[in-house]
Amino acid sequence: MRRALVLGGGGFTGIGWELGVLSGLRDSGVDLTEADLIVGTSAGSVVGAQITSGVPLEALFARQLRPPNGEVTARLSRRVLARMVWAFLTERDPARARARIGRIAHSSSTASLAERREVISARLPSHDWPKCDLRITAVNARTGQRAAFGRDSGVALPDAVLASCAVPGVWPPAIINGQLYIDGGVCSAANADLAAGYDHVVVLAPIGAGMGPVPSPAEQLARLPGSPRTALVVPSAAAKEAIGSNPLDPARRAPAARAGRAQAAEILDEVRAAWGAATPA
């Protein structure tokens, strides 16, 4: 029985919400961090690196409640967003659409890559790859092809997370082996297809929708071969209110984390069944 945990993208609030859900579920006896495979995309890459670092989950959750000192509020401009949406809706080839977005990302970001790497590195309790199978997604900005970095990829963990969190038009593309990489969410909000072959799959997706050639997490789960037992968790109405309209606002991280922890009670039975976890006596 092999289990996969898929952690989707969703900015600062996505990190908080996912850690809230994970800690709430663990308190109720369902520990998703024991997965055989963990897939992290964007915000999920940060969470994946954190929960495999050896730091207790409760401590990671507590960190989300602290004031977001040193974190900068960002926002994707409407102009850049419109250009990306247009690329997705007018390009039939998904890889070519992603490459177009890669060019937009390269031309529109003015942030410092070195400073951004320092911020990402500070979020990671450990800069070493864990022994478990952690895969972090990113997209090659030139070819539009997805990469899934792991401990055998030869890529440093902070660089993999940096690439996965390189939101186009907000943060600069990461440079890995001379290639530019952007946010793994450009390929999919969760990249749940990487869980193919696993018997039990749980997806935490702060963003549950797809767009154009970008499949939604639900669509990817439905296409997994072998009929695995699955559960897709997206923010509840209360969690959406806590998250607010800008997932890149660090001030909303703590409310999102608390909302995720509260939501865990609502989805406990569904997740326990999908995970194949025993019901407490």
**Residues labelled as active-site residues:** 42, 183
Match 């997705």 to its residue by tokens. 88
Beta-ladder partners of 139: 146, 182
Strands, E assignment, the chain: 3-7, 37-41, 133-140, 146-149, 174-176, 179-183, 200-204, 229-233
What does the alpha-carbon distance between residue 140 and residue 104 come to, in Å, rounded to a whole number? 13
Rounded Cα–Cα distance for residues 14 and 206 (Å)? 5
Q: What is the 8-class DSSP label of residue 125?
A: S
Three-state DSSP class for residue 114: helix
The one-letter code for the residue type at 269 is D
Cβ-Cβ contacts under 8 Å for 50 (sequence gap 6 or more): 19, 60, 123, 124, 125
Q: Which residues contact 280 (CB under 8 A, 6 or more apart)?
A: 29
